[in-house]
């Protein structure tokens, strides 16, 4: 198996450019189903989750051409299936994003119950309840979700119990052809939602309010058209990871290729923690010349502190100058990486959805296992400042969301390698 091995204690400094947002690219790829023809997406990250979504679309009948490393040409003219099988959906929960567009195009869909990171239930109840309000009927059996729209989707008011990103996206895509106006209350407000809404509008959909708690979609009767070129928004979470890494290591790191406004609360919290933050239109420069201040954090839906930045921030706070509490309000299993960080010396006590953190002076390198995407990145971060060597296994999780993670760290000065080792060595 492959592992990432880090020798800690070396200066980390320089510039790093982030890729397009994973959580946007996947949904944009699914949305191409809505417009038969050839759509081109640029700034698409070369990561395993994108490869899986590509396999889903190919299975459905799409033809995907990689024009260059970050440009995909997706031809959905001959899509003739409306089922997403378990062997693909089990690899990535975001595969359920095809639910809405397949309903809008074919009025029926079969999607396997989702898989992905083991960070929480992430049930799709809200997707189902919202789509039922539009007129979709569901039958769930043998591990599959069977959905159909027999009488045409009709616009209505849908109030989400929680501002679910996935439910908001599926409702937006399903309702583009619904009769009348669909209003989503308590909608997710993430930048990736805005990117999807802009993309759908380029296709000919009529959407107002994306980025606010109330989104209105006016159904259109005419067929949507493919988009000649759409650039995926920069990945704020990859950017946040490298910003946290720069703050952890101390020397100046400049992170480019994203909108700093998409990380406003994270950057404010990091300044409270003693990090020096300089912002431009599409970059952040970070360094730290003082001890890390211990600051309480609680994750919330956007524009709150993102759950996807929780693990990286806990890594910083584990070396803080006092004690603090991190509260996870989004995914119940998001602290799984904490036990691995404890192996490196961290003083973390879990109490339900709270992590009580007492700062220590340093991490000790050891063998750790990546439990999920962001937790894996955080463990690599810890290895950069740990005494001795840290070996991170189960790195397939990291590959799901970070392109060229090891080469980018090497360019910043990290003594880090990706190695093939025998299972018995771990």
Give the pair of three-digit tokens for residue 309: 């930045």
Q: What is the pLDDT of residue 317?
A: 98
Q: What is the pLDDT of residue 144?
A: 87
Give the pair of three-digit tokens for residue 13: 């400094």
Pick out the residues of the known binding site for phosphoenolpyruvate. Answer: 22-23
Sign of CA dihedral 40, 44, 218, 169: positive
Would you say residue 260 has pLDDT above 50?
yes
Pick out the residues of the known binding site for UDP-N-acetyl-alpha-D-glucosamine. Answer: 93, 308, 330
**DSSP structure class, residue 169:** H
Q: How far apart are CA 91 and CA 212, in angstroms?
A: 31
Give Cα 202 to chain centroid, integer Å: 23
Q: What is the pLDDT of residue 117?
A: 43
Residues near 419 by beta carbon (within 8 Å), at least 6 away in sequence: 2, 3, 4, 5
pLDDT tens digits, residue range 151-210? 889 999 999 999 999 999 999 999 999 999 999 999 999 999 999 999 999 999 999 999
Would you say residue 121 has pLDDT above 50?
no
CA-to-CA dists, residue 234 to 21, 85, 263, 264, angstroms: 5, 30, 11, 15
Query: Which secondary-structure segment (H or E) carries 4?
Result: strand 2-7
pLDDT tens digits, residue range 286-324? 999 999 999 999 999 999 999 999 999 999 999 999 999
CA-to-CA dists, residue 202 to 31, 43, 231, angstroms: 12, 17, 12
Pick out the residues of the known binding site. Answer: 22-23, 93, 308, 330
Q: How far apart are CA 211 and CA 193, in angstroms?
A: 7
What predicted TM-score, i.e. pTM, was given to this entire model? 0.95
Give me the catalytic one of 117, 249, 315, 324. Answer: 117
**Residue 422 pLDDT level (bands cut at 50, 70, 90):** confident
Residue ranges and CATH numbers for the domains of the chain are 2-18+235-420 (3.65.10.10), 22-231 (3.65.10.10)
Q: How far apart are CA 314 and CA 308, in angstroms?
A: 11
Instruction: Give the mean pLDDT of the chain.
Output: 94
Q: How far apart are CA 337 and CA 288, in angstroms?
A: 25
Is 324 part of the annotated catalytic residue set? no
C-alpha atoms less than 13 angstroms from C-alpha of 295 in its C-beta half-sphere? 20
**Residue 85 pLDDT level (bands cut at 50, 70, 90):** confident
């Amino acid at each position: 198996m492959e592992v990432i091995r880090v020798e800690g204690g070396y200066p980390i400094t320089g510039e790093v450019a982030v890729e397009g947002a994973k959580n946007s690219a996947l949904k944009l790829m699914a949305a191409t189903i809505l417009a038969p023809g050839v759509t081109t997406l640029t700034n698409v990250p070369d990561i395993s989750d994108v490869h899986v979504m590509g396999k889903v679309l190919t299975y459905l009948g799409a033809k995907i051409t990689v024009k260059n490393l970050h440009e995909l040409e997706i031809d959905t003219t001959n899509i003739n299936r409306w089922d997403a099988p378990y062997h693909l959906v089990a690899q990535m929960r975001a595969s359920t994003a095809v639910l809405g567009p397949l309903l809008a195009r074919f009025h029926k869909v079969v999607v396997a119950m989702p898989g992905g990171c083991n960070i929480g239930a992430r049930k799709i109840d809200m997707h189902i309840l919202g789509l039922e309000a539009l007129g979709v009927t569901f039958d769930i059996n043998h591990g599959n979700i069977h959905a159909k729209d027999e009488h045409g989707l009709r616009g209505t008011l849908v109030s989400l119990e929680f501002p679910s990103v996935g439910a908001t996206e599926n409702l937006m895509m399903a309702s583009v052809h619904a009769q009348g106006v669909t209003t989503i209350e308590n909608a997710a407000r993430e930048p990736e939602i805005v990117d999807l809404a802009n993309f759908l509008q380029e296709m000919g959909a009529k959407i107002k309010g994306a980025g606010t708690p109330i989104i209105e979609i006016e159904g259109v009767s005419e067929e949507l058209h493919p988009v000649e070129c759409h650039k995926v928004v920069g990945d704020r979470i990859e950017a946040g990871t490298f910003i946290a890494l720069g703050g952890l290591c101390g020397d100046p790191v400049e992170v480019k290729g994203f909108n700093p406004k998409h990380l406003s609360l994270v950057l404010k919290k990091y300044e409270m923690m003693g990090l020096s933050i300089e912002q431009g239109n599409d970059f952040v420069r970070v360094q730290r010349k003082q001890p890390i201040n211990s600051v309480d954090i609680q994750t919330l839906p956007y524009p709150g502190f993102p759950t996807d930045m929780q693990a990286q921030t806990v890594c910083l706070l584990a070396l803080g100058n006092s004690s603090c509490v991190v509260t996870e309000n989004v995914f119940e299993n998001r602290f799984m990486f904490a036990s691995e960080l404890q192996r490196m010396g961290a003083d973390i006590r879990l109490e339900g959805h709270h992590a009580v953190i007492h700062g220590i002076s340093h991490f000790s390198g050891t063998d750790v296992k990546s439990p999920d995407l962001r937790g894996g990145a955080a463990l690599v971060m810890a290895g950069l400042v740990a005494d001795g060597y840290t070996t991170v296994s189960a790195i397939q999780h990291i590959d799901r969301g970070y392109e060229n993670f090891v080469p980018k760290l090497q360019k910043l000065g990290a003594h880090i390698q990706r190695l093939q080792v025998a299972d018995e060595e771990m």
